[in-house]
Amino acid sequence: MATAARQHRVVMVSDFFYPNFGGVENHIYQLSQCLIHQGHKVVVVTHAYGDCLGVRYLTNGLKVYYLPRLPFYQQSSFPSLLGWARLLRAICMRERATLLHGHQAFSTLALEACIHASSLGLKVVFTDHSLFGFADAGSILLNKVLKAVLGADVHGVICVSHTSKENTVLRACLPPAAVAVIPNAVDTSQFTPDLSMGALPWPRDPEAEEVVLVVLCRLVYRKGIDLLSLVLPAVCERHPHVRVLVGGDGPKRQLLEKVIADHGLQSRVLLEGAVPHERARDFMVRGHVFVNASLTEAFCMALVEAAAAGLVVVSTAVGGVPEVLPPDMIVLTDPSAEGLLEGIERAIQRVPHQRPLEQHLRVRQMYDWNDVACRTAAVYDRVAASCRDDSVPARLGRYLAAGRWVGALFGVVALMSVLLLRLAQWWQPASAIDVAPDWPARHSQATCGGGGGGGTGAPNNMQEATPDVQRMRSGKQAAGKGAVQEGWQAPGGTAKRV
């Protein structure tokens, strides 16, 4: 077992990172923290979010490059193919990177970085976080791009669930054994059941005492809000002691408001609006049953969070959801109104038998970011040992295997990327690029042998597992805690804008 025997110097690239919120952002942050904890070097590259531009440091010296790229659709940056190859080269040189890890299939930044990293001679790992269909025009286009990039440039692919792996293997025509399944995890120390004195009483008889259902997701079509709006009136009618808390915001909020007004449920269904992630646990423990009505989901982190917080979980059985929790912790339903209604009723029946603390301890054994980081590092080890022929002709051959037209297009892009980087090499040789000093290692390096989660200590940032987004947004820096701009770094004159 190569336990951190080899230090990897990883550049994580994705369009999605804090201050934006979501599963991918959380995954990158937690994975980076745990990798740093294990003694690897990690920097994150993403595009600028408003004022959040330039270089920032997060907890434990996780350096984040916010590149001046323009997001154009759902925070994906505008595809420029060659636009930032030189910038990426400078970053990789400065950080002496050995490996590039792209995240999320529809992050243009990540896909472009994979091409350029391959031209730079780095090893490339790619994590796909989502499920896609095969039929609509957007999916067909994206699948072609994936086929070319994942087939030709990427050395190792990671998916977050087995269903996601099946999907990615089909979309990118990869050999199944080249794709590893490493699930997301949840910082279970943040999602604990509420055991304080003022906690919500846990009902013994769901027909006589109050039961609170909790919904927490973006209010969009894909999260099944339409289904929910069909089911909620029926649930409220059949169970007079049920109340519903809905957290989150989005275009479907009006629909819920209309349904609540039509059925006179104002006193029983509460729309709480957006709930920031750091308050998610406090929101969840106000209820007994967590309801997820998603229509598609690669790996639903919210389910694990709710289970860790001790709630009874009910979800539509879509995508990777059935893999996430053992059957005694989750009620799986058909993605239909009748199915969801029946599932919610079963979950309400389960409420008196629920043991929140017991469930929390079990979930703690199941998911741990350190475990995820170890398994990811194992993929890095394998990739670093790979001796695939990455010469230009071999790459071009692999591109052509993805299809005649798309292969030719990406072959041209790769050729131009190689030429551009050669030019950059001549223009700005490696010796002319400042090397950024590494953040001093403060921890003894964690080992990976710790016996499946729980045992190994998570990084010491429990109180601050998500960076202070408010401060990042406002652009003010405070030393010591969250974001520190590079200029504040004391040792070495490396405060140069890249």
Partner 1 sequence: MTRLRASHGRPAGPHRPAADGSGGLLDDLRSGTFALAQDAPPHQKGRVAALAAAAAPGHSLPTEDSAPRWEKVLWKPQPFPDNYVDHTFLQHLVVNDAVPRRRYWPVVLASTAVTQQMSCVVAAAAVPLHLQAGRTGPRQLLAACGVLLLLGYATCAVLGGQLLGGSLARGVRQCVLLVGGVYGLSPLLHSLTATVSSDSVVALAVGLAAAHLGLCDYSFVNSVTDKMTGALSLAAAVLAAVLVAGRMRTELETFAVVLLALELFLLSPFARRHVRRASVPAHLALTAVMAAAATALLFPASPAGAGAFAGSVLVVTLVCPAALVRGHVFKAKISGPWDEAAPHIPSELMPRRTGAGGAAAAAPEASRT
Torsion of CA 315, 321, 322, 325, to 10 degrees: -80
- Tell whether residue 6 is a contact of partner 1 (CB under 8 A): no
Number of residues that bind partner 1 (CB under 8 A): 78
Contact region for partner 1 (CB under 8 A) — 291-299, 415-423, 429-437, 468-476? Answer: 291-299
Nearer to partner 1, 139 or 428 (CB): 139
Contact region for partner 1 (CB under 8 A) — 38-46, 214-222, 344-352, 421-429? Answer: 214-222
- Tell whether residue 140 is a contact of partner 1 (CB under 8 A): no
Contact region for partner 1 (CB under 8 A) — 41-49, 133-141, 207-215, 487-495? Answer: 133-141
- Tell whether residue 104 is a contact of partner 1 (CB under 8 A): no
Q: Which of residues 386-405 bind partner 1 (CB under 8 A)?
A: 386-389, 401
Check residue 454 and give left, alpha or beta (phi > 0: left; psi -120 to 50: alpha): left
- Tell whether residue 366 is a contact of partner 1 (CB under 8 A): yes
Nearer to partner 1, 77 or 229 (CB): 229
- Tell whether residue 323 is a contact of partner 1 (CB under 8 A): yes
Q: Which of residues 152-171 bind partner 1 (CB under 8 A)?
A: 154-157, 161-164, 166-167, 169-170
Check residue 135 and give left, alpha or beta (phi > 0: left; psi -120 to 50: alpha): alpha
CA distance linking residue 77 with residue 74, whole number of Å: 9
Instruction: Give the side-chain half-sphere CA count within 13 A for 68.
Output: 4
Nearer to partner 1, 87 or 295 (CB): 295
Contact region for partner 1 (CB under 8 A) — 9-17, 98-106, 215-223, 418-426? Answer: 215-223
CB 227, min distance to partner 1, A: 6
| Of the residues 64, 216, 227, 312, which one makes contact with partner 1 according to CB under 8 A | 227
CB 160, min distance to partner 1, A: 8
CB 334, min distance to partner 1, A: 8
CB 319, min distance to partner 1, A: 6
| Of the residues 371, 458, 459, 466, which one makes contact with partner 1 according to CB under 8 A | 371
Nearer to partner 1, 115 or 259 (CB): 259
CB 128, min distance to partner 1, A: 11
Cβ neighbours around 382 below 10 Å, total: 15
Given strand 9-13, what is the order of strands in its sheet? 179-181, 156-159, 123-128, 99-103, 9-13, 41-47, 62-67, 54-58, 484-485
Q: Are 139 and 133 in contact (CB under 8 A)?
A: yes
| Of the residues 48, 87, 140, 230, which one makes contact with partner 1 according to CB under 8 A | 230
CA 127 to chain CA mean position, Å:
9
CB 158, min distance to partner 1, A: 8
Q: Which of residues 429-488 bind partner 1 (CB under 8 A)?
A: 448-452
Contact region for partner 1 (CB under 8 A) — 16-24, 107-115, 377-385, 469-477? Answer: 377-385
- Kindly give the pairing relationship between strand 211-216 and strand 179-181: unpaired
CA distance linking residue 74 with residue 449, whole number of Å: 39
In sequence order, the 6+-apart residues with CB closer than 8 A to the CB of 287 are 200, 212, 213, 214, 245, 311
Nearer to partner 1, 68 or 455 (CB): 455
Q: Which of residues 325-354 bind partner 1 (CB under 8 A)?
A: 325-326, 335-337
Q: Are 105 and 128 in contact (CB under 8 A)?
A: yes
- Kindly give the pairing relationship between strand 123-128 and strand 179-181: unpaired
Q: What are phi and psi of 5, to 5 degrees?
A: -65, -30
CB 256, min distance to partner 1, A: 10
CB 163, min distance to partner 1, A: 5
| Of the residues 319, 343, 356, 482, which one makes contact with partner 1 according to CB under 8 A | 319
Q: Which of residues 18-77 bind partner 1 (CB under 8 A)?
A: none
- Tell whether residue 8 is a contact of partner 1 (CB under 8 A): no
